[in-house]
With several copies, the nearest count.
Chain A
Amino acid sequence: MSSTPNSSVRQRLLYLHARTPSVFSEILGYTPVEPVRDYRAEITADVPDWPYQTVHDALVDGWQIVQFPHQQAPIDDRDLDVVGYEFILQKLEEVQDG
């Protein structure tokens, strides 16, 4: 199988952790992953302004959800697990390194 000629298209990812499984709920976590060498998502002491308040804001900006939080995961209404519900979004774009 040969690779496509258009090999510079890469998958940009965005992990958004929302308050509820609804795309309209506010996000509590924002983690972009850029497909360029040496890129690292990191915790910062100065929290930057996030460009989106909700997952829906990201949809409006052209991001596409590729993984939704799993509604059928085991649930117990007394137990707490991770912070928010994880949506994973992508944009397929032409990306050049540095």
Chain B
Amino acid sequence: MDRNPPAAETAAETLVEPGAVNGEVQPGASRDMSHLLTDLEMAGFIVNGYHLLEPDLPEGLNERIAGRLDGLGYNPGDAIAEVVPELWQVIEHPAVKGALVSLLGEDFEVMGHRHWHCKQPHTGHMSWHQDSTNNRDYRIDRLLGLFYPTDITPEMGPTVIVPGTQFRNAPTDRMATYSNIHGQVPMVVKAGTFALTHYDLWHGTAANRTAVKRHMIKFLFRRVRDNKAPTWNHDPDVMDVPTAWGGKRDDPKNVLSFGNPIGVGQSDHYKERQIRWKCWNNLLGADDALDD
């Protein structure tokens, strides 16, 4: 085990090294449709680049995890789930698994990298970044899972994400002149929240102005292969609705076409729309039919 010194929020890095992934491949999940995402949730993820889950975890689990982390005198790096084995109950919760199957396919992989992000009391903000080099693709092939075992207040240094930034060719250096961005979303969440975010989504951290440690455990998941068919709770007729040129836009088709979470300009909006439809078609397993 790799015993790291206690760390404030260290530069959030993910080492992507071919062959070094000691992940566990998930056996084909049973098709318990009740935990799969809906078309609307899938469309929302494609547009926003994140999805929040509040799995009904066993009584006391959050407190046990938070307690262990509060008492942990070093950062075990990738071994955090061995040091705090209760974390597996989160990863293996049917709601978490259902969302992962929906987004990454039935044989998604839990990658070997994970990290306890302990935001120490009275520490400053962390700028916008991606965890590695820009990985831009219209496919959904890699996700971060952010687990918060305690309630997170705005003062505790929440992760902050910028919805819809996941398709941008914008390596971390290019985010350096930004602070607050219109439409950014702080992860001010309830204990037990599991946030799935697109790997390329812009994220940062507000300052922790409190006297308590803010815990977040980050997991990394990846798609193993392209879909041949939808792996979520898909209605084949879902797109048979009128285009809402100015009307109600709360169905998957119109969310994909008109969603604009941070209010970007027309050119960007049209470009996003094209990428979203490519992503959606790829997830449907219809990619063969498209030329790229």
Contact = CB atoms under 8 A, between A and B. Distances in A.
B162 A83 contact: yes
A77 B96 CA distance: 31
A79 interface: yes
Interface string A31-73: 1000000001111111110000000000000000000000100
Interface residues of B, number: 50
Given A28-B264, A42-B179, A85 B173 contact: yes
B169 A79 contact: yes
A41 B179 contact: yes
A43 B206 contact: yes
Contacts of B204: 43
Contact of B128 (A43, A45, A75): A43
A79 B272 CA distance: 9
Interface-centre pick from A25, A31, A40, A43 (highest chain B CB count, 10 A):
A43
Given A46-B154, A77-B267, A83-B262, A21 B177 contact: yes
A42 B173 contact: no
Interface residues of A, number: 34
Contact of B179 (A28, A43, A45, A81): A43
Contacts of B158: 45
A42 B168 contact: no
Given A26-B263, A45-B206, A81 B274 contact: no
Contacts of B178: 15, 17, 29, 31, 83
Nearest to B184: A47
A21 to B, nearest CB: 5
Contacts of B77: none
Contact of A71 (B174, B180, B274): B174
Given A47-B184, A80-B275, A20 B265 contact: yes
Interface of A: 15, 17, 19-22, 25-31, 40-48, 71, 75, 77-86
6 contacts: A19-B263, A43-B125, A44-B125, A45-B206, A47-B184, A71-B177
